[in-house]
Every structure is written in structure tokens, then in C-alpha cells.
Amino acid sequence: MNWTTPGKLRTKGIIGMNRRNIHYIGRYNDRRLYPLVDDKLQTKLLAQRYNITTPALIGTVSTQFGIKHMRRILDGHSGFVIKPAKGSGGKGILVIERLEGEHYVKPSGTHLTLRDVERHVSNILSGLYSLGGSPDVALVEGLIDFDESFSAYTYEGVPDIRVIVFKGYPVMAMMRLSTAASDGKANLHQGAVGVGIDIASGQAIRGVQFDRSRHDHPDTGHELASLHIDNWRTLLELAASCHEMTSLGYLGTDMVLDRQHGPMLLELNARPGLAIQMANGEGLRNRLDLIEQQADGVPPAQRVDFAQHHFARRSELESTREASA
């Protein structure tokens, strides 16, 4: 699908950064609430108060002096994730899959020493990965036991699900699949595959990589048409409830599916990107316009009902598979 002129973009309901920033973020997100989502530690603590499941917090390191306690913090945990509390775009996230002797092993197979891990934590604290380069805190979280049904759709990393939530309504969703090009990270700008997800069913409807349509995973070769997210209704209700949790009107919720705990909240974003429109082959404008017409005070479950009824889509991937059969 080629969107080459402003007129065509408007026809598809595509919103750009100016409209997103002024009409939605500026109007519906109180800036004083941003720290709740810009700081992952605050988000995690807030989620715990609202009984929203997040990855287990193993520990935190807030000072360079505290780095000497890393061995004690990591003791007994063969797999874990270290991330900057104020990081963005997946920067500074270190995933350790297992322990082999004295070495910590990344999903890629790279071996790190304790000194390597300590150096990474030191870089986090110094603000190397934080917004604006400000001093940061390192979070150590439990490794996600992600649902093996997605292993054929991803390369080394854990796939996550981004849902745009507007006034508490789940408006549009996509799954981000890590690739060799994205170095195992679920980051579209680095080459991850974005898969549009039907709000009504949790079924994959379209795939894209580097802004081009994609019908299979570039590394595993597995087709995307069969991708379906279980516990989809539960995931949408979790996303919708983040509106009450943060009081933000326009936000992106990032979630994963854990084999033991089901949908889990990874982080929130008060300024979510717009690539989700490309992944879905549809703009946000019409959906957001419809939500603006709805009354406030509707419970999360009813908001999800509304979204699933009004935003259902037929898969483009299925039609492509049928045509080639």
C-alpha cells in the first residue's frame, strides 16, 4: 500500500506528529503525570497498587557505590533483565537468559562476566540511556517466561504487544517481533517486524518491516497469518485499566504474555509513536474521533466491548495466503 500524498494520508485517517502532540497528547495528558510513566520504577510500583501484573522486581541500584552489591542481588537468579528506569526505545536493556559457571549468557549466546554486568549498570546510572542524559536507576527484573507459541515468530527476543489507549478505550494494537536486524530487540526502528492485531479477535491482520509489507518472519521464515494472541480479552482489559491507573488520556501500553502469569504490563508511554498505523494499514484518526464522541465514566469492560465491536478488521494476511493457495 503506497501512501504518497497528503491527500491520501488524510483519506486513510493517518495522523502525524503535530496532530498527535497538540490534539491528543497536549489536550489529554497532564504533564505533571508524565513521571508516572517515564520512570519505569514508578510505573511498576503504581501497577502493584492497582493489582496489575508486571515482571517481578529483583532489586534496584541507584548509586555507583551500590554496584558492588550486584553479585548478591543476582544470586539465585539464572535469568534476569537489567534496564534503565528512565530509558526509552529499548536502549540500555540487558537480557541474561542463563548462567554458565561464572558467565552470564545473553540470548545471542554472548558470554558476559560479572564485571561486564557491573559496567553496564554503571552506564545506566550515569544516564547513558536515560531521557536527557539525567542520572538514572537500574532495575533488575525477573526474566519473562514468554509463551512458546510465539517462538516461531521471533528471533532471540521476547515479542511484546503495544496497545494505544485513548480515554480508556483500546484503539489500535500491534505485536513487535524481534529480528536479527533489530539485534533481538522489539524495536521497529531497528528492524523488528510490526504486526497489526485485530482489536476484536487478537488475530494478526498485517505485517511490516522497515515500512514495507511483510507476510513472514525474515529469520524464521514462519508465516504471520496464523499469529493469534490468546487471553486477548484479558490483555485489552488490562490495557484499558491503565487509564484509571495513570489518569492519562492518550497512552501506549506495552505488554507481554508470560506462560505462568498471562498478560503482564512492561511499561507505559505518554508519547507513543505512530508506526502502529503502518503496521495496521490504517490511520488512527477515525477511531480517535469516534472515541471523542463517547461519554466519560464508562467502566473498562464496557470500553473494551465498544472497541471490539467498532474496530474489528479482516486480516490482509489471510487474503494473501488464500490467494497463493
The sheet carrying 262-269 orders its strands as 212-213, 204-209, 193-197, 169-177, 160-166, 250-258, 262-269
Task: Round the average pLDDT of the chain to a whole number and report it.
Answer: 92
In 3D, which of 217, 201, 204 has the Cα closest to residue 279? 204
pLDDT confidence band for 7 (50 / 70 / 90)? low
Contact of 141 with 90, CB cutoff 8 Å: no
* Statement: residue 3 has pLDDT above 70: no
**pTM, 2 dp:** 0.91
DSSP 23: I
User: How does residue 324 score in pLDDT terms, banded at 50, 70 and 90?
Assistant: very low
pLDDT in tens, 104-160: 999 889 999 999 999 999 999 999 999 888 999 999 999 998 888 899 999 888 899
Q: Residue 1: what pLDDT? A: 45
Instruction: Give the model confidence (pLDDT) of 61-81 as tens digits.
Output: 999 999 999 999 999 999 999
Lookup: cell for 125? 546510572
